[in-house]
Amino acid sequence: MKRGISFEIPNEYGRFLWEVLTPFEITKFIWLSGGEESYLVEDDELGKLLFTDEVNWIEGLTLKELLEDNRYYLIFVDLKAYSKENNPSLIETYRDFFNSDCELVLLVVDSVYVTIYCKDSEKLERLYDNAKIKGFGNLQYITDKNDTRTKLSVW
């Protein structure tokens, strides 16, 4: 069974979260940011934190505007998408994710390594196709057999 996808993005300033999440309906969800380290780019230099340094809930429209309208540099990112109608719970493992109301987990480690878990197989296929079209490197599916991750976080 396909759990998600993994791939590599360039280690440079850009709008890579926006590019990665374009096929996913960002505004239909409320997002949990794990408070990891990434920065807005201001005058071609690192500026303020992209996300607050605390665990934080972000409305989908706010997240969409943040990711679409700004350039940023990603170091570590931990984003989780929840339906607005359900009661969000914290996710630590794939089993937690599978049994929760969380629809998508997006993790970025060391600026380039992206992992996405998505429950909806059609959305997962669109995310895969998008990553392929964008030319992101080392694109592969994460399956029950090859998933070595024990925690769904970047730390």
**Residue 15 near residue 67 (C-beta atoms within 8 A):** yes
Domain ranges of the chain: 2-143
Q: Comparing C-alpha atoms, which of 78, 80, 70 is closest to residue 39?
A: 70
User: Rounded to an integer, what distance in angstroms lies between the CA atom of residue 141 and that of residue 60?
Assistant: 26
40 pLDDT more than 70: yes
User: Rounded to an integer, what distance in angstroms lies between the CA atom of residue 109 and that of residue 114?
Assistant: 7
Q: What pLDDT, on a 0 to 100 scale, did the predictor assign at position 131?
A: 98
Q: 155 or 38, which is more confident?
A: 38
What's the whole-model pTM score? 0.94
Structure-token match 């943040």, residue found? 66
